């Protein structure tokens, strides 16, 4: 007496084909995920490697592109720690989340209260030894460590921006740093 066979056991090639189809579908979805994740990252920070140049006069220029939301976001460093800056002319100081301040070896100074978009918060004064954006290097920049800030974005406020000339044309912002005389 013979036992009844299931449809898949009668045709092992069909089972292998279904497995390959499912595997191909999963690989295709993973590939699309990585592709679109990169596109979204580029839209939120189009200045991962900002265009930098040094003119014959010694003036250093960095050209930034607006992101999709109309902000200027760029990669840079604080005390050799890679960071992401959000340029904020409304911020008095460079505002640094506590997690990044710890990585950069920044020391908490005097505590004070600051009015932010999220209300009044406690901040701690500090000083950044070296801040870079593109080929522009700023030294001894006043900053605030803000323990209530979440994420890895630093607000690049006027304590840094006052050392730079900047002009906007269309969706480009050009930063210029003049050599010390």
pLDDT in tens, 45-94: 989 888 899 999 999 999 999 999 999 999 999 999 999 999 999 899 99
- Residue 99 is assigned to a structural domain of this protein: yes
pLDDT of residue 110: 96
Task: Report the pLDDT value the prediction gives residue 5, as an integer from 0 to 100.
Answer: 54
- Please indicate, yes or no, whether residues 11 and 83 belong to a single structural domain of this protein: no
Q: Considering the domain boundaries, does residue 140 fall inside one?
A: yes
Q: Residue 118: pLDDT above 90? A: no
Buried b (16+ CB within 10 A) or exposed e, 29-49: eeeeeeeeeeeeeeeebbbee
C-alpha 111/C-alpha 105 separation (Å) is 17
Predicted pLDDT of residue 130: 97
Q: Are strands 94-97 and 51-54 parallel, antiparallel or unpaired?
A: unpaired
What letter does residue 49 receive in the DSSP assignment? S
Is 169 among the domain residues? no
Is residue 165 in some structural domain? no
Same domain, 31 and 74: no
| Total domains present in the chain | 2
For residues 36-49, give the mean pLDDT. Answer: 65
Mean pLDDT value of segment 111-135:
92
Q: What is the CATH number of the domain that holds 84?
A: 2.40.70.10
Q: Which residues constitute the domain of residue 99?
A: 70-159
pTM for this structure? Answer: 0.74
Q: Distance between CA atoms of 71 and 74, rounded to whole angstroms?
A: 10
Mean pLDDT of the region 145-168: 93
Residue 92 included in any domain? yes
- Give the C-alpha separation, 127 to 31, whole Å: 43
Compute the mean pLDDT over every residue in the chain, rounded to the nearest whole number: 86
Report, as an integer, the average pLDDT of 10-29.
72
Is 87 inside a domain boundary?
Answer: yes
For residue 178, tell me if it sits in a domain.
Answer: no
At CA 64, angle to CA 40 and CA 50, rounded to 5? 80
Are residues 40 and 76 both part of a single domain?
no
Q: Does a structural domain hold residue 60? A: no
């Amino acid at each position: 007496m013979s036992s009844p066979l299931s449809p898949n056991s009668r045709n092992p090639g069909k089972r292998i084909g279904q497995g390959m189809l499912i595997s191909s579908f999963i690989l295709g979805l993973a590939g699309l995920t990585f592709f679109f994740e990169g596109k979204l990252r580029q839209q939120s920070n189009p200045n991962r490697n900002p265009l930098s140049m040094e003119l014959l006069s010694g003036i250093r220029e960095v050209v930034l592109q607006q992101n999709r939301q109309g902000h200027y976001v760029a990669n840079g460093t604080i005390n050799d720690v890679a960071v992401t800056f959000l340029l904020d002319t409304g911020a008095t100081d460079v505002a640094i989340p506590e997690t990044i301040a710890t990585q950069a070896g920044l020391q908490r100074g005097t505590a004070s209260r600051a009015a932010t978009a999220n209300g009044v918060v406690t901040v701690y004064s500090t000083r950044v030894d070296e801040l870079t954006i593109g080929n522009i290097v700023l030294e001894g920049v006043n900053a605030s460590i803000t323990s209530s800030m979440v994420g890895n974005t630093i607000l690049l406020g006027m304590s840094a921006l006052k050392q730079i000339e900047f002009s906007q044309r269309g969706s480009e912002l050009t930063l210029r740093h003049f050599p010390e005389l």
